[in-house]
């Protein structure tokens, strides 16, 4: 049996029945949208700011619940892009969840298999390119998607794929166990295309018993996975007031206007992330600003901001993101007294070395050393977390610290996808202007 971080963290996970009572509206909304309360919830709750980050990002970057009634980008194309990005990232947990999410949003089974319209093809190609490590997104991907989507709808698609980066990284790195009902919903469809649950089913893919084949996989007229209707919207909206109140408590004082959000981050952490300027939705700006504020707040950190930034540098180098390297380095300069240039160079070499041959950079304490090893192992997509990695970090990082680091690295993956999309979109616009 392969060790996973999920098994390492299991004893510390917060049981579903002990989750905060005021989270119930969000849990109910998630269950309606994906068919189950995800098993990541008890793990994220180990570090409460991580659970808040998840709860703030998911509805806002997916434009929920408004997307259910046609406000914003076509929900089926956005859901298909989310599924395609998970395929490219190689997270078996997210592939299963996002397949079910796409089917519920009206994506046809033919589109899952690859028999797609031109619009669906353009969406899938862009989403997959954004999610590949290193990213392969180009201005051509953007232009092909622009032929089928308005500028505003294209932005919503990119935001969903960026959210997929958070979900792909966290679920895959932890090895979150796939819920039996989620497995039953999609296994019959996905196994035709070579998918298997792997580490996300206890015992691994080879030992896992086959899930029961759902009726809809045998009968095209069946409605085993329900497609959105008026009832879906009404059930979600019944929970919306409670969810909105909870979100307002988390985002209180955080502006939705870009200029004000950048100022808040400058005041709180010393740096305003310029990617916010590429986003037009106030709710998304507020959500991302809240996530960055909370994840870089020393008072909420259990592992230390310096350790998080060093781990972030490893991730940024490995995914070949110069802008994230620059940002993590700048933030280190702000909080650390003259960081060692030799250490910064050795981190770059460490990030690029094969996982089975890495030597930890010198000059790190035990917590920082475990943090960079964890970052290197989970920077790849899919993650390279093995029994050896779990055994190496477990003596030096407690459960809260592990979850905190993984939430931070997952947030960085969200930013990475957004930066790469913004660069490609700007280049596409420049080429169009030149013509």
How confident is the model at residue 335, as a pLDDT? Answer: 82
Confidence of residue 214 (pLDDT cuts 50, 70, 90): very low
Crossing angle of the two packed helices 151-174 and 139-146, in degrees rounded to 10: 120
78-110: per-residue pLDDT in tens?
999 999 999 999 999 999 999 999 999 999 999
Confidence of residue 432 (pLDDT cuts 50, 70, 90): low
Q: Contact at 8 Å (CB) between 6 and 174?
A: yes
The answer to whether position 271 is within a domain reads: no
Crossing angle of the two packed helices 151-174 and 75-89, in degrees rounded to 10: 40
Same domain? For 222 and 311 the reply is no
Torsions phi, psi for 418 (to 5 deg): -65, -40
Same domain? For 226 and 314 the reply is no
The boundaries of the domain holding residue 63 are: 5-232
Task: Identify the weakest region by mean pLDDT among 95-109, 238-252, 333-347, 413-427.
Answer: 333-347
Same domain? For 147 and 53 the reply is yes
Average pLDDT score, the chain: 89
- The residue among 359 and 141 whose pLDDT is bigger is 141
Last residue of a domain, one of 209, 232, 255: 232
Helix residue spans in 150-274 (DSSP H): 151-174, 180-190, 204-207, 215-218, 230-251, 258-269
Q: Contact at 8 Å (CB) between 231 and 31?
A: no
Which among 37-41, 164-168, 339-343 has the top mean pLDDT? 164-168
Which runs of E-coded beta strand occur in 322-419? Answer: none
How confident is the model at residue 17, as a pLDDT? Answer: 82
Same domain? For 50 and 192 the reply is yes
* CATH code of 109's domain: 1.20.1290.10
Task: Identify the weakest region by mean pLDDT among 45-54, 119-128, 274-283, 359-368.
Answer: 359-368
SS3 54: helix
Cα 397–403–404 angle (5° rounding)?
A: 90
Task: Say yes or no to pLDDT of 237 above 90.
Answer: no
Helix residue spans in 337-365 (DSSP H): 341-352
- The residue among 13 and 356 whose pLDDT is bigger is 13
Residues 327-340, mean pLDDT to the nearest whole number:
83
Confidence of residue 204 (pLDDT cuts 50, 70, 90): very low
Beta-carbon contacts of residue 17 (< 8 Å; ≥ 6 apart): none
Task: Identify the weakest region by mean pLDDT among 73-82, 185-194, 268-277.
Answer: 185-194
Q: Which among 46, 86, 82, 50 has a CA at the least distance from the CA of 64?
A: 82
The answer to whether position 306 is within a domain reads: yes
282-330: per-residue pLDDT in tens?
999 999 999 999 999 999 999 999 999 999 999 999 999 999 999 999 9
How confident is the model at residue 53, as a pLDDT? Answer: 97
Last residue of a domain, one of 176, 199, 232: 232
The answer to whether position 261 is within a domain reads: no
How confident is the model at residue 209, as a pLDDT? Answer: 43
E strand or H helix at 431: helix 399-434
Measure Cα distances from 239 to 64, 137, 242, 345 in Å.
Answer: 12, 37, 6, 50
The answer to whether position 173 is within a domain reads: yes
Q: What span, in angstroms and rounded, lies between the C-alpha atoms of 396 and 407?
A: 18
Question: Which DSSP category does 179 fall into?
Answer: P
The answer to whether position 267 is within a domain reads: no
The answer to whether position 179 is within a domain reads: yes
Task: Say yes or no to pLDDT of 224 above 80.
Answer: no
How confident is the model at residue 121, as a pLDDT? Answer: 97
Last residue of a domain, one of 178, 202, 232: 232
How confident is the model at residue 211, as a pLDDT? Answer: 43
The answer to whether position 343 is within a domain reads: yes
Look at the chain and report how many structural domains it folds into. 2
The answer to whether position 363 is within a domain reads: yes
Same domain? For 312 and 226 the reply is no
Q: What span, in angstroms and rounded, lies between the C-alpha atoms of 426 and 277?
A: 13
**What are the DSSP calls for 277-328, one per residue?**
GG---HHHHHHHHHHHHHHT-GGG-SS-HHHHHHHHHHHHHHTT-HHHHHHH
Residues 185-214, mean pLDDT to the nearest whole number:
70
Same domain? For 16 and 163 the reply is yes
Same domain? For 94 and 189 the reply is yes
Task: Say yes or no to pLDDT of 130 above 90.
Answer: yes
Same domain? For 224 and 304 the reply is no
């Amino acid at each position: 049996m392969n060790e996973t971080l999920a098994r390492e963290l299991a004893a510390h996970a917060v049981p579903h029945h002990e989750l905060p009572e005021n989270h119930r509206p969000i849990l109910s909304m998630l269950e309606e949208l994906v068919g189950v309360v995800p098993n990541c919830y008890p793990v994220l709750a180990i570090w409460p700011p991580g659970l808040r980050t998840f709860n703030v990002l998911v509805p806002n970057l997916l434009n929920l619940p408004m997307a259910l009634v046609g406000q914003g980008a076509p929900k089926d194309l956005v859901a298909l892009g989310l599924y395609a990005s998970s395929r490219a990232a190689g997270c078996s947990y997210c592939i299963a969840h996002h397949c079910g999410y796409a089917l519920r949003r009206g994506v046809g089974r033919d589109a899952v298999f690859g028999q797609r319209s031109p619009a669906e093809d353009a969406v899938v190609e862009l989403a997959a390119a954004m999610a590949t490590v290193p990213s392969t997104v180009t201005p051509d991907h953007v232009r092909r998607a622009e032929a089928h989507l308005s500028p505003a709808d294209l932005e919503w698609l990119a935001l969903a794929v960026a959210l997929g980066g958070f979900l792909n990284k966290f679920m895959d790195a932890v090895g979150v166990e796939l819920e039996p009902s989620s497995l039953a919903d999609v296994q019959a469809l996905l196994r035709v295309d070579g998918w298997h649950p792997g580490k996300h089913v206890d015992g691994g893919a080879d030992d896992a018993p086959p899930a029961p084949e759902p009726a809809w996989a045998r009968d095209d007229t069946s409605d085993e996975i329900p497609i959105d209707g008026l009832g879906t919207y009404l059930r979600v909206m019944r929970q919306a007031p409670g969810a909105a109140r909870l979100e307002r408590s988390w985002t209180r004082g955080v502006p939705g206007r870009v200029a004000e959000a950048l100022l808040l981050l400058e005041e709180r952490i010393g740096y305003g992330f310029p990617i916010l300027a590429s986003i037009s939705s106030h709710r998304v700006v507020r959500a991302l600003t809240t996530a960055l504020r909370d994840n870089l707040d020393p008072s909420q950190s259990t592992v230390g901001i310096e350790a998080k930034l060093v781990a972030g540098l490893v991730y940024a180098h490995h995914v070949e993101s110069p802008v994230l390297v620059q940002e993590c380095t700048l933030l280190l300069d702000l909080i650390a007294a003259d960081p060692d240039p030799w250490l910064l160079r050795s981190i770059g070499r460490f990030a690029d070395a094969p996982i089975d041959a890495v030597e930890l950079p010198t000059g790190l304490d035990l917590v920082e050393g475990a943090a960079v090893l964890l970052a290197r192992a989970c920077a790849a997509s899919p993650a390279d977390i093995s029994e050896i990695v779990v055994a190496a970090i477990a003596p030096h990082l407690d459960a809260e610290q592990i979850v905190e680091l993984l939430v931070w690295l997952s947030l960085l993956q969200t930013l990475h996808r957004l930066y790469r999309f913004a660069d490609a979109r700007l280049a596409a616009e420049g080429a169009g202007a030149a013509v």
